[in-house]
A and B are shown apart, each in its own frame.
Chain A
Amino acid sequence: EAEVAQSPRYKITEKSQAVAFWCDPISGHATLYWYRQILGQGPELLVQFQDESVVDDSQLPKDRFSAERLKGVDSTLKIQPAELGDSAMYLCASSFDRYNEQFFGPGTRLTVL
């Protein structure tokens, strides 16, 4: 069964450092999502791509976060510089299109010290 791949699974960094997360969606899925899930809360959408274009980044802290999906396939989410409050699980999801259900990857758990 096809799955969404994410790496790394765990990342520990010090504040002010740069971190990057990678996501490979299910083959053929045009829509890709990055979520942040703070411990004890539900996921919150950071950015949504349709192919290589951003369609929603209203909750992305653009002063420090950036996301790209250059060829409309895999995607990278970057944080620079990381802050203590960025400690969370970062989840990637994909769907065939925006009308269909989202499939989630295993996530990257980020700890900022």
Chain B
Amino acid sequence: AQSVTQLGSHVSVSEGALVLLRCNYSSSVPPYLFWYVQYPNQGLQLLLKYTTGATLVKGINGFEAEFKKSETSFHLTKPSAHMSDAAEYFCAVSGTSGTYKYIFGTGTRLKVLA
């Protein structure tokens, strides 16, 4: 069975500092991987996804993530945090066959300090 672990339910960074949100997955086969962002009382918005090909994936709003098979990780980074980045971030994994069901992590709430 697939699973996702997001280390750190809360992360605080200063404005302009590096953002690093951690995601590790468990899967018997290389999965598809996603990062979504959720603002209060809103739905989820896709930041980026990895399916096949280049392991460094660039997304919207300056975010990027790197798929590391050997470490079963898909950490999300942004070089310089902005106040508008404060939100909850979810990592998700899906299989590459069948229903392609998404399994979400428990989320990381990012706080950006002025």
Q: Tell me if A41 and B43 are in contact (CB < 8 A).
A: no
Q: How far is the CA of A105 from the CA of B60 in the complex (A)?
A: 19
Q: B27 at interface (Cβ–Cβ under 8 A)?
A: no
Q: What residues of A have a CB within 8 angstroms of the CB of B101 in the complex?
A: 45, 48, 56
Q: How far is the CA of A48 from the CA of B101 in the complex (A)?
A: 9
Q: B102 at interface (Cβ–Cβ under 8 A)?
A: yes
Q: Tell me if A104 and B106 are in contact (CB < 8 A).
A: no
Q: Tell me if A44 and B104 are in contact (CB < 8 A).
A: yes
Q: A25 at interface (Cβ–Cβ under 8 A)?
A: no
Q: B31 at interface (Cβ–Cβ under 8 A)?
A: no
Binary per-residue interface labels of chain B (73-114) against chain A in the complex, 1 for a CB within 8 Å, 0 otherwise: 000000000000000001010000001111011110000000
A19-50: which residues lie under 8 A (CB-CB) from chain B? Answer: 40-45, 48
Q: Tell me if B43 and A105 are in contact (CB < 8 A).
A: yes
Q: B45 at interface (Cβ–Cβ under 8 A)?
A: yes
Q: Tell me if A107 and B41 are in contact (CB < 8 A).
A: yes
Q: What residues of A have a CB within 8 angstroms of the CB of B67 in the complex?
A: none
Q: Is the interface of A mostly helix, strand, loop or mixed?
A: loop
Task: Report the count of interface residues on B (CB-CB < 8 A).
Answer: 21
Q: What residues of B have a CB within 8 angstroms of the CB of A93 in the complex?
A: 43-44
Q: B42 touches which one: A41, A101, A107 (CB < 8 A)? A: A107
Q: What residues of B have a CB within 8 angstroms of the CB of A109 in the complex?
A: 41
Q: B17 at interface (Cβ–Cβ under 8 A)?
A: no
Q: Tell me if B49 and A101 are in contact (CB < 8 A).
A: yes
Q: Tell me if A56 and B43 are in contact (CB < 8 A).
A: no
Binary per-residue interface labels of chain A (72-84) against chain B in the complex, 1 for a CB within 8 Å, 0 otherwise: 0000000000000
Q: B18 at interface (Cβ–Cβ under 8 A)?
A: no
Binary per-residue interface labels of chain A (47-82) against chain B in the complex, 1 for a CB within 8 Å, 0 otherwise: 010000001100000000000000000000000000
Q: A residues within 8 Å of B by Cβ? A: 4, 40-45, 48, 55-56, 91, 93, 98-99, 101-107, 109
Query: Top 8 A-B pairs ranked by shortest CB distance?
Result: A42-B104, A104-B43, A104-B44, A98-B100, A106-B43, A56-B99, A105-B43, A43-B104
